[in-house]
Structure 1
Amino acid sequence: MPSITESNILIIATHGFEQSELEFPRDQLRVKGATVHIATPDGQPIKGWEGSDWGREAEADLSFDQIDVAAYDALVLPGGQINPDLLRVDDRAIETVKAFAREGKVIAAVCHAPWLLVEAGLAKGRQMTSYHSIRTDVINAGGEWVDQSAVADSGIVTSRNPNDLKEFVGKIVEEIEEGRHEKKAA
């Protein structure tokens, strides 16, 4: 089984990510020994959203066009309203999510980021949670929505909101340490 200290984790995001939903997993996974990279659409820094206004920038390590799925053990998708709404119409972002799923790698989405799982066709037949306002989207995509702080189903981790980030990171670590997951049939 892989250890979190030997794992490489990719976060994909764009402007408008929920500040804590990128920073907390990035920082906590690094504290646990993982190598964490951030990919943005153009490889440039992105600006977060905090409260009711723009927040801090997050530095990028690479662009979407430079992503090598084979180099990573897990994919983390921060939420916010703006970030996942922009990413779910970015073909490169959706293809990245699908590629991680095809390889049986861990994918973790918090808050509104399950929109990307819906767009990638990964919700059907899967137990998931999300921010309450997109519950219907998850259900309409065939997911079984549950109101829990963090849910893992065959390597897909979902969480509701910033209050659940500690549990979200804990589930990511658990899933990485379990190893590759078989693709769940729809």
Structure 2
Amino acid sequence: MADLSGKKIAFLLTDNFEDSELTSPWQAVTDAGAQAVLVSPERERVEGKKGHTQDVDMHVSQAKAADFDGLVLPGGTSNADHLRMDTDAVDFTRDFFNQHKPVGVICHGPWILADADVLKGRTITSFPSLKTDLRNAGATWVDEEVVVDQGLVSSRTPDDLPAFNDKVVEEIGEGRHAGQTA
């Protein structure tokens, strides 16, 4: 496993996220030595679909991609739908691609990438219901456990979390990727 000591990872989400898609990658990056920071359009705390609550560390309007080494976008249909409607969240996400920084997305998490206009020419996976949206945004969609494309790590469901976590830690450990662009 890569050593992520000294790295700072943003987790962008709002209420009704898929609990394990926050808690499992969070544990993986912190176990590797990184500092995880919960960024949200919410002001105080967020609650997952299954009841996990966690305090918000930073409001998305104050967050800057330049202050982080990577981004993780957990899924959950409602969470992902609300994030893609938040201009600050979309801009924050796009800036990781502009700065060539690793991004991990799982389940419905990739939805915001269509709104951020960062999918042209990329290969990605997701929860199957997003396939058409992601293809329409210019991506090649594949049905695989985990896909890595120049610093963009994607997976389909919580069942894929072990492979997703390993690749997220690996890509963040590698740092910037020239092909990770908006």
**Same-fold call, TM cutoff 0.5:** yes
Is 1:116 the counterpart of 2:88 in the alignment? Answer: no
Structure 1: gaps spanning 5 or more residues: none
Q: Name the SS for the 2:52 alignment partner.
A: strand
Which aligned segments of 4 or more residues in structure 1 are displaced greater than 4 angstroms? 183-186
- Match of 2:24, SS state, is helix
Does 1:90 pair with 2:86? yes
Q: Number of paired residues?
A: 181
What RMSD over aligned residues (CA atoms) do the two structures have, in Å?
A: 1.5
CA contact (8 A) 1:46 1:58 kept: yes
Instruction: Tell me how far apart the structure 1 counterparts of residues 181 and 101 of structure 2 sit (CA, whole Å).
Output: 15
Change (3 A) 1:103 1:59: same
CA distance in 2, matches of 1:40, 1:185: 23
Structure 2, unaligned stretches of length 5 or more? none
1:56 to 52, 56, 78: 52
Evaluate the alpha carbon distance shift between residue 145 and residue 46 of structure 1 in structure 2; reply closer, same or farther with a 3 A threshold.
same
TM-score (ref. length: structure 2)? 0.94
CA distance in 2, matches of 1:41, 1:113: 15
Does the 8 A contact of 1:45 with 1:58 survive in 2? Answer: yes
Asked whether the 8 Å contact 1:9–1:73 carries over to 2, the reply is: yes
Deviations 1:19-55 (A, max 9, x none): 11111111221112110000111331011002xxxx1
Distance in 2, Cα, partners of 1:109 & 1:59: 21
Amino acid at match of 1:34: A
Matched ranges for 1:11-160 at <5 A: 11-50=11-50, 55-160=51-156
TM-score for the superposition, normalised by structure 1: 0.92
Deviations 1:117-155 (A, max 9, x none): 111111111010000111111111111111111111111
Asked whether the equivalents of residues 97 and 181 of structure 2 are also in contact (C-alpha less than 8 Å), the reply is no
Which of 74-83 and 173-182 deviates more? 173-182
Question: 1:169, 1:184 → 2: CA distance?
Answer: 19
